[in-house]
């Protein structure tokens, strides 16, 4: 099948972006012809075997021009060729199947700014384009029940299928040798917790720091401007190999204010690392223990006290790995492909 995959970027910096790269490789291996329509391609990914890229022009001076020009260029480009199926991932149109990995922008605003009574023009436009993308698709995919509820309630989606994310179980796995090496490299002797994510405020870094127990070190991975590192809070910047750090950790703490499904939670569990996160993260739906789902500083600190250092070497770490093994990438991609074929056949 000749399949158009539409998103602004083709890279691995971000959960949706990593999903698209993995899906294109899965489609090529299955004998299909994926064509990626995008505005940006990371240099080292331009020679992906079996993948053709089509550039989508986009004007950048203002959010309004950026979003509207991308929508228009996508519509024109899709109309210029014949496609067996079209799958979209972002604020573009013309999809038969739309994977809303970011959930509802309206729900995110409610969680991040609960006392704000107005919406900025840029936020209004993003929500309007999201709503249009959802309502014009034949089938929508959400990556959690949390995300699906937002699409139905805020955008009026009529058919939403939940397809949980998958994880690379070979890349993200327990590795005692790498654990010891990285801890020595970082000079970590006691228990190590990680916070991983871009958008520190939305992801709840302030809560993670406030709840940090005595004796623990918190490593912060993300591309936001770093704070000042201390003996207990270490800002490590963005990392292309997050698995190295997860393999060295005893805990992933992600007190996010809204996240339809934070991939890093599944990646941590695949490394045998327990996770603490909030009910506002769709990944909470797959955690092995209800007490791992927390909300607020006090609850996070109390649950943190139940974590036994040792990561993959603990009973809980082994249970986390067992749960992650149920969520393979192949299973996720296969279900998405089945829905894409169904959507393409609808008239």
The domain ranges of the chain are: 2-166+329-345, 176-324
Q: What is the rounded CA–CA span in Å between residue 23 and residue 34?
A: 9
Instruction: Give pLDDT, residue 70.
Output: 92
Beta bridge partners of 139: 97
- Whether CATH 3.40.50.2000 fits 2-166+329-345: yes
In the block, residue with structure tokens 């201390």: 230
From residue 83, alpha-carbon distances to 4, 5, 281 in Å are 7, 10, 35
Low-confidence ranges of the chain (pLDDT < 50): none
pLDDT of res. 116: 72
Residue 82 pLDDT? 95
269 and 320 Cβ atoms separated by less than 8 Å:
yes
Prediction pTM value: 0.91
Q: Where are the alpha helices (DSSP H) in the chain?
A: 15-29, 63-79, 105-112, 121-136, 145-155, 176-186, 200-203, 205-211, 242-246, 263-270, 297-304, 315-324, 329-345
Nearest to 221 by CA among 206, 237, 210: 237
* DSSP letters spanning 260-304: S--HHHHHHHHTT--EEE-TTBGGGGG-S-GGGB--SHHHHHHHH
As a whole number of angstroms, the distance between CA 243 and CA 246 comes to 5
Sheet of 160-162, strand order: 52-55, 33-38, 2-6, 85-88, 97-99, 139-142, 160-162
For residue 101, which of 203, 18, 42, 34 has the smallest C-alpha distance? Answer: 18
CATH class of 176-324: alpha beta
Confirm whether 2-166+329-345 and 176-324 share one CATH topology.
Answer: yes
Q: What are phi and psi of 63, to 5 degrees?
A: -55, -40
Tokens found for residue 212:
């940090």
Q: Which residue has the tokens 């910096």?
A: 13
Report pLDDT for 117. Answer: 67
């Amino acid at each position: 099948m000749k399949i158009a995959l539409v998103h602004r970027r083709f890279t691995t910096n971000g959960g949706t972006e990593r999903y698209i790269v993995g899906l294109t490789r899965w489609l090529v291996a299955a004998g299909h012809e994926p064509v990626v329509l995008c505005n940006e391609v990371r240099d080292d990914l331009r020679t992906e075997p079996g993948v053709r890229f089509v550039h989508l022009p986009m004007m950048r001076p203002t959010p309004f021009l950026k979003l509207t020009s991308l929508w228009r260029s996508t519509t024109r480009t899709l109309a210029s060729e014949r496609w067996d199926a079209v799958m979209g991932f972002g604020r573009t149109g013309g999809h038969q199947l739309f994977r809303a990995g970011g959930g509802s922008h309206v729900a995110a605003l409610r969680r991040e700014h609960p006392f704000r009574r107005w919406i900025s023009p840029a936020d209004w436009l993003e929500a309007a384009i999201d709503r249009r993308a959802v309502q014009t698709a034949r089938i929508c995919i959400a990556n959690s029940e949390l995300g699906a509820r937002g699409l139905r309630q805020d955008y009026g989606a009529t058919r939403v299928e939940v397809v949980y994310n998958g994880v690379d179980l070979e890349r993200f796995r327990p590795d005692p040798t790498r654990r010891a090496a990285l801890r020595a490299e970082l000079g970590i002797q006691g228990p190590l917790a990680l916070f991983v994510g871009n958008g520190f405020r939305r992801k709840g870094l302030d809560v993670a720091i406030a709840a940090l127990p005595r004796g623990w070190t918190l490593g912060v991975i993300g591309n936001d401007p770093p704070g000042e590192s201390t003996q207990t809070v270490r800002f490590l910047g963005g990392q292309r190999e997050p698995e190295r750090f997860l393999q060295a950790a005893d805990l992933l703490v992600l007190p996010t204010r809204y996240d339809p499904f934070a991939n890093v939670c599944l990646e941590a569990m695949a490394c045998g690392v327990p996770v603490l996160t909030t009910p506002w993260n769709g990944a909470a739906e797959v955690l092995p223990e209800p007490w791992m789902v927390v909300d607020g500083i006090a609850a996070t600190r109390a649950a943190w006290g139940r974590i036994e250092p040792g990561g993959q070497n603990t009973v809980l770490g082994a249970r986390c790995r067992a749960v992650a093994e149920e969520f393979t990438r192949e299973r996720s991609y296969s279900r998405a492909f089945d829905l894409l074929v169904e959507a393409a056949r609808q008239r």
